[in-house]
Structure 1
């Protein structure tokens, strides 16, 4: 096999061989040593052998051979005194002879911590047997530059071999993220939860959050070789989760919340206080005018006003935002991503601690808007603890609302062609089968005029609410700001501003209304249809075909 092809093959197998080694040893340092041996043995074999019937099987046969040899060495070593690898370097035997003889396993580990360019030059020179002029031609460098890199690499390696490499905190105690989400529009590759799905990417993002780091510094913080994170860093930078700064440093470009018991309790008390203000000075007025809402012609499942308010209150709550309170615009934080996404990313570090309240009750996901301009259809939805829906924004599909609109209009026949659409509407409980026929289980406005009347009937917030909103924003900002790096302050402000209209405060409002007995928890068969409103925006529509109020 020619060298260019062997280089490509070995690049593909670096990570699988490391995974194999880690599985065998369960220790990072030993895995890196063993993976280095395997990689070298495979590479040398590739250069000697022209063809392989089953390359993958052949590679892992070599891996098993190297593993067996490694175990044998371990057993032998346990029966006799050994000179530690680092002692070899303390003698004046010559750096070149040491590296060529492969007597220093720790040395090969340190090579992995060189910069990408220096590592490539060292490997080509010492392991590939290439001349300086050949390396220079292959890498598009001058001979003097190659010599300089070799000199600097040898100096760095000698220094590191006489010191103990310190493992960063994340290598000893890695973090785990939860509540990975976004504000804006995800792309075709998903959102934050997709790009930070692995532990290594989460820890890379966190390592460069408080301080810009080079790939080498990130690797040291995580306690692993740069070889295994270079591609990950490149991908995160490519899709806007890391920014590359001068000096080959990277800085995380998202908001990472680090919760604590004291902060969580303080925020809980704050949200309870301001949810009570929101109910007392705004939402309680929705109940005595329930009949006015009905008179707009809005469709209410079963004619139950309680179900209407379960949707209308969180819908109206998003309007408790005030332009004069906005300090950071979408343009300041939303990132245009390569896959078509345009959103600000956020995540929370998973910290284990007890709090005095039930976190699950205050769950909120939204606001999720689904539109079809062609069909003049708009739908709004939020997920709460009471709605019991699963899947979040990924399972909130425009096609479901389009299907339901066609059912309402009587132009989606119940036949084999449409069986999947009907099955999904029933599974989502957007559509119920009753004794008298099918019934829509969400609030909807049958035409443009109905939607306009419903919006007009929603009360306007008072000046008291406006004043409270400004105070809440500042209080949330100050609580969330503690411990955040300076470059992330705009994110903290962005997520704290207009908190009165946030999903969090609306969850607290719903909880307060339930505790007061003003809202009744819906029956189980109604729950998945709440906190949803569909607007059919055509000029006029006939009477709904389905049953309901």
Structure 2
């Protein structure tokens, strides 16, 4: 076989051979070493041979041959385990023979799949050299109970070491999550993106989304030792991302969306159609109301009504929310977390595929509300493709708006004490430096009366919009329901309801308004300030 063909074959077999190695060794470090040896041996064999009756069979015959050599080397290099303690129960000499014949790595792999208590007893006895009576005293159990656990553990280990432990799909082809977010209030430990920040937690959550699993079943699905995931599962359950069910099984308690090209191509024209309905029957009115909005006294950067609309249109999107469309309440899907958070969690599986549109242009994150009761201040903001902000909700700080309020009121002197506050405002472009003075670069209402007048000026949606919203919700729900497990249907309904007021539709609304020339793109120095409104002195 020529080198180019051999290279392609090896590329196709890298993952299967690594899966074979991990299944045989049960340890990542050993699996990498074994897979490397197998791959080299297969590659050299491919270069020497030109024809194969069954290439797959040939490759895995080599894999088993290299595995046998690998085991032989490990057995010679390892010390025999301590098994001849006089206290070991009699009548099962075959177990002792297995210990002598198998590698330490294989035995330890199976010990990891024992229950937590049995694993602790076996480790203390075989690896720690402790007497049964001492183990009993330390664990607060009787000697008879310890002997029973050792006997049962030995039976389980003997059985498992004579069988091939399978590896689930996630052990070979793990998923990765994006769009890790929440609806509600994050706690002091963060939100979904913090708790599911690691690949192992993401795959644990996904493994139990469609079917409840025990810890050992999760471990097999991920192709790793249960020892490494017990604490992770405990933490996810403790903070409400997993539920513990009868039979020591766990099930994921959040919404996980698994996108596909077909689903995306179905939703895209649907969102586009209903965004155009929203523009035609609601948002177009805003463009003839420039004077009405200005008469409320709202501050507009540079007096540019276009900049006001970049903020007011997404802000007014909440008017398109209808309570009667909420078939699942926030309380039904949200969880009160131990760190003070109270939110419904969601995530999206990262899938790479091509679609007929550019998804980045429809990015939308919000609504982000920041409050200060002390200063009677409220700020609202969303992030979109069109604004210049890149740091998400974590960098949207109440303190920035408080500083800006003090600048507006003239009680934040430009001195060394306040240098950091001013630096933040300039960096975020909430505040601009002009030739003559400083300029606030966001929309704001200076007092309660101005805010009330602005809210009163926002038009109310018509019955036509409400009818469209009802149809949109049902259509989106049916699309999102595909492939979802029964227990997740309430999550699907929750995240598919009141779509007309959702960030998704509002992103399509903004895109449509730009495309038809009604909304003008903001100047570069204005981008960071759009889609933000601050309400001052609300009391």
TM-score category of the 2 structures, normalised to the smaller one: 0.7 to 0.9
Deviation sequence 1:314-336 (CA, Å, 0-9, x none): 00012211111111111111111
Higher mean displacement: 489-498 or 144-153: 144-153
2:486 is matched with which residue?
486
Contact 1:335/1:344 (CA < 8 Å) preserved in 2? yes
Distance (whole Å) between structure 1 residues aligned to residue 306 and residue 454 of structure 2 = 16
1:342 is matched with which residue?
342
The alignment partner of 1:345 has SS state of strand
**CA distance 1:496–1:129, shift in 2 (3 Å):** same
Distance (whole Å) between structure 2 residues aligned to residue 279 and residue 416 of structure 1 = 48
1:263 is matched with which residue?
263
1:459 is matched with which residue?
459
Contact 1:451/1:537 (CA < 8 Å) preserved in 2? no
Higher mean displacement: 154-163 or 137-146: 137-146
**CA distance 1:354–1:255, shift in 2 (3 Å):** same
2:118 is matched with which residue?
118
**CA distance 1:475–1:132, shift in 2 (3 Å):** same
**CA distance 1:361–1:75, shift in 2 (3 Å):** closer
2:27 is matched with which residue?
32
* TM-score, with length taken from structure 1: 0.81
The alignment partner of 1:432 has SS state of strand
Deviation sequence 1:453-511 (CA, Å, 0-9, x none): 11111000000111111111111111111111111111111111111111111000000
**1:320-469 equivalence runs, <5 A:** 320-469=320-469
Contact 1:180/1:348 (CA < 8 Å) preserved in 2? yes
**CA distance 1:165–1:290, shift in 2 (3 Å):** same
Contact 2:26/2:109 (CA < 8 Å) preserved in 1? no
2:516 is matched with which residue?
516
Distance (whole Å) between structure 1 residues aligned to residue 179 and residue 230 of structure 2 = 26
Deviation sequence 1:165-215 (CA, Å, 0-9, x none): 100000010000001011111111111111111111111111111111111
Contact 1:100/1:127 (CA < 8 Å) preserved in 2? no
Q: CA deviation at 1:140?
A: 2.7
2:147 is matched with which residue?
147
Contact 1:99/1:126 (CA < 8 Å) preserved in 2? no
Contact 1:447/1:536 (CA < 8 Å) preserved in 2? yes
Equivalent residue pairs, number: 470
Contact 2:377/2:402 (CA < 8 Å) preserved in 1? yes
Contact 1:186/1:341 (CA < 8 Å) preserved in 2? yes
1:163 is matched with which residue?
163
**1:249-288 equivalence runs, <5 A:** 249-288=249-288
Distance (whole Å) between structure 1 residues aligned to residue 509 and residue 408 of structure 2 = 32
1:228 is matched with which residue?
228
**CA distance 1:493–1:536, shift in 2 (3 Å):** same
Contact 1:283/1:313 (CA < 8 Å) preserved in 2? yes
Q: Which runs of 5+ in 2 are unaligned?
A: 1-20, 31-67, 81-91
Q: CA deviation at 1:79?
A: 13
The alignment partner of 1:213 has SS state of coil
Higher mean displacement: 321-330 or 126-135: 126-135
**CA distance 1:311–1:347, shift in 2 (3 Å):** same
The alignment partner of 2:529 has SS state of coil
The alignment partner of 2:374 has SS state of coil
Distance (whole Å) between structure 2 residues aligned to residue 116 and residue 470 of structure 1 = 51
**CA distance 1:107–1:357, shift in 2 (3 Å):** same
Contact 1:364/1:507 (CA < 8 Å) preserved in 2? yes
Distance (whole Å) between structure 1 residues aligned to residue 378 and residue 281 of structure 2 = 29
**CA distance 1:390–1:143, shift in 2 (3 Å):** same
Deviation sequence 1:251-305 (CA, Å, 0-9, x none): 1111110000000111111110110110011000111111100111110000001
Contact 2:281/2:462 (CA < 8 Å) preserved in 1? yes
**1:89-108 equivalence runs, <5 A:** 94-96=94-96, 98-99=98-99, 105-108=105-108
Distance (whole Å) between structure 2 residues aligned to residue 74 and residue 416 of structure 1 = 71
Contact 1:28/1:224 (CA < 8 Å) preserved in 2? no
Q: CA deviation at 1:161?
A: 1.5
1:67 is matched with which residue?
none
Q: CA deviation at 1:380?
A: 0.3
Contact 2:25/2:106 (CA < 8 Å) preserved in 1? no
Contact 2:298/2:450 (CA < 8 Å) preserved in 1? yes
Higher mean displacement: 118-127 or 474-483: 118-127
Higher mean displacement: 122-131 or 420-429: 122-131
Distance (whole Å) between structure 2 residues aligned to residue 308 and residue 33 of structure 1 = 56
**CA distance 1:399–1:265, shift in 2 (3 Å):** same
Contact 1:98/1:104 (CA < 8 Å) preserved in 2? no
The alignment partner of 1:365 has SS state of strand
1:11 is matched with which residue?
none
Contact 2:23/2:166 (CA < 8 Å) preserved in 1? no
**CA distance 1:396–1:34, shift in 2 (3 Å):** closer
Deviation sequence 1:362-418 (CA, Å, 0-9, x none): 000100000111111111000000012011110100011111111111111111111
The alignment partner of 1:94 has SS state of helix
Deviation sequence 1:416-449 (CA, Å, 0-9, x none): 1111111111111111111221111100111111
Distance (whole Å) between structure 1 residues aligned to residue 110 and residue 28 of structure 2 = 10
Distance (whole Å) between structure 1 residues aligned to residue 238 and residue 285 of structure 2 = 50
1:195 is matched with which residue?
195
Q: CA deviation at 1:75?
A: 8.5
